[in-house]
Homo-oligomer: A and B are copies of this chain.
Amino acid sequence: MPEPIRLSVDCMGGDHGPSVTLPACRAFLDKHPGAELILVGKPEELTAAAAWPRCRIVAASEVVTMEDPIEVALRRKRDSSMRVAIQQLKADREGNPALAHACVSAGNTGALMAVARYLLKTLDGIDRPAIATVIPNQRGRFTTVLDLGANVDCTAEHLLQFAVMGSALVAAVEGNEEPSVGLLNIGEEAIKGSETIKQAGELLRAAGAAGQLNFFGNVEGNDIYKGTTDIVVCDGFVGNVMLKTSEGLATMIGAFIKEEFSRNLLTKFVALLALPILKAFKNRVDHRRFNGAALLGLRGLVFKSHGSADAFAFEQALARAYDAARNRLLDRVHDRIVATLQAKANDAGDNAANSVAQAA
A38–B284 alpha-carbon span in the complex (Å): 49
A273 to B261, CA, bound (A): 12
Bound Cα distance A184, B238 (Å): 10
Does the CB pair A245–B246 fall under 8 Å?
yes
Contact with B along A225-265 (1 / 0, CB 8 A): 11000000010111011111111111111011100110100
Contact assessment for B108 and A188 in the assembled complex, using a CB-CB cutoff below 8 Å: yes
B residues less than 8 Å from A197 (CB atoms):
152, 237
Is A277's beta carbon under 8 Å from chain B?
Answer: yes
Q: A171 contacts the other chain (Cβ, under 8 Å)? A: no
- Across the interface, name the chain B residue whose C-beta is closest to A220: B244
A221, B241: Cβ atoms closer than 8 Å = yes
B194/A222 in contact, CB under 8 A: no
Contact residues of A between 155 and 208, Cβ < 8 Å to B: 184, 186-191, 193-195, 197
A24 to B197, CA, bound (A): 38
Looking at chain A, what size class is its interface with the partner chain?
Answer: 35 or more
B190 lies within 8 A of A109 (CB): yes
A190 touches B274 (CB 8 A): no
- Are A138 and B277 interface neighbours, CB within 8 A? no
Q: Is the CB of B236 within 8 A of A256?
A: no
A153 to chain B, nearest CB (A): 5
- The interface residues of chain A, by DSSP majority, are classed as helix
Q: Which of B138, B194, B195, B224 is the one whose CB lies under 8 Å from A245?
A: B224
Nearest CB in chain B to that of A111: its residue: B190
Q: Among the listed B66, B188, B224, B274, which residue makes an inter-chain contact with A110, where contact means beta carbons less than 8 Å apart? A: B188
Is A316 part of the binding interface, using a Cβ–Cβ cutoff of 8 Å? no
Binary interface profile of A, 321-334, with partner B (CB < 8 Å = 1, else 0)? 00000000000000
Q: Which 10 A-B pairs have the closest CB atoms?
A: A221-B244, A222-B248, A225-B248, A221-B245, A110-B190, A149-B189, A186-B240, A225-B252, A221-B241, A260-B281
- Which A positions have Cβ atoms within 8 angstroms of B? 66, 70, 108-110, 113-114, 136-138, 149-150, 152-153, 184, 186-191, 193-195, 197, 220-226, 234, 236-238, 240-253, 255-257, 260-261, 263, 267, 270-271, 273-274, 277-278, 280-281, 284-285, 307
Give 9 CB contacts A-B under 8 Å. A70-B190, A136-B252, A152-B189, A186-B244, A260-B278, A260-B280, A260-B281, A260-B284, A274-B274
